[in-house]
Each structure stands twice: as C-alpha cells, then as structure tokens.
Amino acid sequence: MKPAGADQALEPGLTRALELALGAGVALSGALLFAGLALDQLALMRVGLLLLLFTPVARVVVLTVGLFHQKDWGFAVVSLWILLVLLSSISLGSLLG
C-alpha cells in the first residue's frame, strides 16, 4: 500500500531550486563566517550566522512557491502555514529579544 501523496513528486526544477537555496545559503554563510574569523570582524560573523539561520526559511519560501506553482494545493497550504509560523516566531523573537 502506497502512502497518501506517493504518486505526487516534486518537479525536478523545484527539487533543484531547493538544493540551490540550501547549498547557496550554507556556502555563503560559511564563507562569511570564515572571513569574519580570519579578519577578526565580528560584523561578518554576525551576518554569516544570520544567513545560516535564515537558510531554512528560504527553503520553505522556495518550497511554498513551488508547490503553489505545481498546483499541489494541500501541501502548498501546509507549507504556507509553516512559513507563517516561522515568520511570526522570528517577528516575536525580534520584538521580545
């Protein structure tokens, strides 16, 4: 017996966009963190760390847009809900922090 939604797969273009979002976020944040350490620049390390923290959020944004584009309404709505929860927690954290 197949799980629900087993027939539906992500389009190769969406899978590639997700890989690029995660890979670019990790690579760029790693480069900024390394440069910040090498140059003893706290500002570069902070930007690198923030970019690393926002990389999963970028992945959810790409996934949500891709699922709406695929017209996979059920998963798109769930993904949008997750995105809204992430953004609200970031907003609350910045207000309270």
DSSP string, 5-53: TTT----HHHHHHHHHHHHHHHHHHHHHHHHHHHHT-HHHHHHHHHHHH
How confident is the model at residue 92, as a pLDDT? Answer: 92
Q: Model-level pTM? A: 0.82
For residue 21, pLDDT beyond 80:
yes
Q: Is the pLDDT of residue 6 over 50?
A: no
- The pLDDT score that the predictor gives to residue 39 is 97
Return d(Cα 29, Cα 50) in angstroms, integer.
Answer: 8
Residue 1's pLDDT is 42
Predicted confidence band of residue 8 (pLDDT cuts 50, 70, 90): low
pLDDT at 13: 92
Residue 44, pLDDT > 60, answer yes
